[in-house]
Amino acid sequence: MTNTHTKQPHVVRHPIVVIMGHVDHGKTTLLDYIRKTNIVAREAGGITQHLGAYEINWNGKQITFLDTPGHATFSLMRERGAHVADLAILVVAADDGVKPQTKEALEAIKKAGIPFIVAINKIDKTSADIERVKGTLAEAEVLVEGWGGTVPCVPISAKSGEHVDELLNTVLLAAELEELTAELDVPAEGVILEAHLDSRRGPTATILVTNGTLTRGSFILCGETFAPVRIFESVNGEAIEKAGPSTPVRVAGFNEVPRVGTLMKTFESKAELEKDFKVVEALKRKKEVAKAGEVGILVKADVIGSLEALEAEFKKIIPEGLEVTIFDGGVGEIGEADVKLISAAKRAIIIGFHTKVKSNILELAERLKVEVKLFNIIYEAIDWTKERFDELRPRKIMRVPTGKMIVLKVFKSNSHGRVVGGRVREGRVPKDAQFEVLRGDEVVARGHIKGLQKNKAEAEELVEGNEGGLLVEVSRAIEERDVLQFFYEREA
């Protein structure tokens, strides 16, 4: 739906800023200072909640600050296609310089392709050395103003607030150069910045609206979670009716806690949301089917009662060693969706009870190697399934030794195989047995008997002490003095 709208006039939107840098260089202190001095907020009893984002007003202009996400989270959001930040502030401590996480942050900023401003922090400290920090920045290929580069750089103290105003002015100036715009009259797009299970309000999230306008009364889908836009607030806790681009908002009442970094889609009605959610659900189930064990079986029936009865019975007859996952196909006729869904399983079966299937669906099933069986009598369905499970059960092959023969003579091989003569040392040699060729203690070949002779006549078997001739097929040449160890293979 977002692709079909006619081009809307773009409006200027305010910047979204992320603060990054090495641990302990002062990111949190800086954000706290900015919030405390600029938010016209009713802070809940002074408790600092981590909401994922804050909005501030500076000289009559708005700036949205993201709550210092880890660099990994920031990169993850970007990989998902979320354009979360327009600008970064890279905090570098004046008494420390560029550190490993400073480099990580630079990497993330570079990948995001956004401009950044360096804030050299802690200049109130006696050990602060601004010029040395600029030097370490140059080594990291960050050339700040005055050092042959164009990267804005503001020395500050997040603790005392010194020059933080200048930093904010620089942010606004840089944002202006970016000419940030967005559309207003389109369904809102956004990204989940923070989400948690609120003890009072259930699954709650902070969402950054990145484009369009989110309005009360609409519905949102974020990955596999959704919510009505009803408990709808600004990040300062005030109920709102709508929120435009670059605005962080809070929405409570999700069906589940959404994942940070997932993108948001908006719908005007619940019916529209549900249409889309069905697709999401179907995809989720498909993943589950693909994860199913050996056999995936989908049950479809005329009424819920039969469906549940069949599922319960099928569970009871799963043989040991066979992994069977039973899927509830619901009631109704077997359709394309059922076939496609279950076809993701390694062995796919659909059992229909008092239901129908169209011939084109059967053709599809055949192509996708899905077995479809229809029944009208419950015990017949169970019997058939039980048999099928038994056939599909992985077999254990057991070897039953029968006897040993020493090879006395090897004749020339012909097109039918190789003829060897020997004497049975122990047990018996039945004419349909298989054998291994032992040379010393080592098994050197495997084969099976194709013909057996005793006293130059066809015979059924040789027993201990007998001499006879065997026509064999063998994987490698047999030599005189080899021992043939005969056996049968049996299913356990």
Query: Strand, helix or coil at 350?
Result: strand
At closest approach, how far in Å is the CB of 97 from ligand GDP?
A: 14
Among 108, 120, 158, 449, binds ligand GDP (CB under 6 A): 158
What 3 state SS string does 400-460 have?
EEEEEEEEEEEEEEECCEEEEEEEEEEEEEECCCEEEEEECCEEEEEEEEEEEEECCEECC
Cβ distance to ligand GDP smaller for residue 25 or 418: 25
- In angstroms, the CA 124 to CA 136 distance is 19
Part in contact with ligand GDP (CB under 6 A); list of ranges 16-24, 254-262, 363-371, 385-393: 16-24
At closest approach, how far in Å is the CB of 168 from ligand GDP?
A: 15
Is position 464 an interface residue for ligand GDP (rule: CB under 6 A)? Answer: no
Is position 28 an interface residue for ligand GDP (rule: CB under 6 A)? Answer: yes
Among 16, 17, 18, 26, binds ligand GDP (CB under 6 A): 26
Among 1, 11, 12, 23, binds ligand GDP (CB under 6 A): 23
Part in contact with ligand GDP (CB under 6 A); list of ranges 18-26, 177-185, 202-210, 420-428: 18-26
At closest approach, how far in Å is the CB of 396 from ligand GDP?
A: 59
Is position 159 an interface residue for ligand GDP (rule: CB under 6 A)? Answer: yes
At closest approach, how far in Å is the CB of 106 from ligand GDP?
A: 15
Dig out the tokens for 200 from the structure. 């009072």
Binding mask 116-135 for ligand GDP (x = CB under 6 A): -----xx-xx----------
Cβ distance to ligand GDP smaller for residue 6 or 126: 126
Contact 390, 319 (CB under 8 A): yes
Count of alpha carbons within 13 angstroms of residue 30, beta-carbon side: 34
Is position 198 an interface residue for ligand GDP (rule: CB under 6 A)? Answer: no
Q: Closest Cα to residue 252, out of 211, 276, 216, 224?
A: 216
Is position 24 an interface residue for ligand GDP (rule: CB under 6 A)? Answer: yes
At closest approach, how far in Å is the CB of 53 from ligand GDP?
A: 16
Query: Hey, what amino acid is at 127?
Result: S
- In angstroms, the CA 75 to CA 357 distance is 48
Task: Give the interface size with ligand GDP as a residue count (CB under 6 A).
Answer: 15
Is position 205 an interface residue for ligand GDP (rule: CB under 6 A)? Answer: no
Among 29, 234, 453, 466, binds ligand GDP (CB under 6 A): 29
Question: Cα–chain-centroid distance for residue 119?
Answer: 37
| DSSP secondary structure, 23-73, as one string | TTSSHHHHHHHHHHHH-----GGG-----SEEEEEETTEEEEEE----HHH
At closest approach, how far in Å is the CB of 153 from ligand GDP?
A: 15
Q: Are strands 231-234 and 247-252 parallel, antiparallel or unpaired?
A: antiparallel
Part in contact with ligand GDP (CB under 6 A); list of ranges 25-33, 143-151, 326-334, 409-417: 25-33
| DSSP secondary structure, 279-295, as one string | HHHHHHHHHHHHH--SE
At closest approach, how far in Å is the CB of 85 from ligand GDP?
A: 17
Part in contact with ligand GDP (CB under 6 A); list of ranges 140-148, 157-165, 404-412, 465-473: 157-165
At closest approach, how far in Å is the CB of 160 from ligand GDP?
A: 7
Among 13, 14, 20, 27, binds ligand GDP (CB under 6 A): 27
Dig out the tokens for 126 from the structure. 């006696």
- Identify each DSSP E strand in 316-384 by its residue range: 324-331, 347-353, 370-375
Q: What is the DSSP letter of 247?
A: E
Query: Strand, helix or coil at 86?
Result: coil
Interface positions with ligand GDP (CB under 6 A) = 21, 23-29, 121-122, 124-125, 157-159
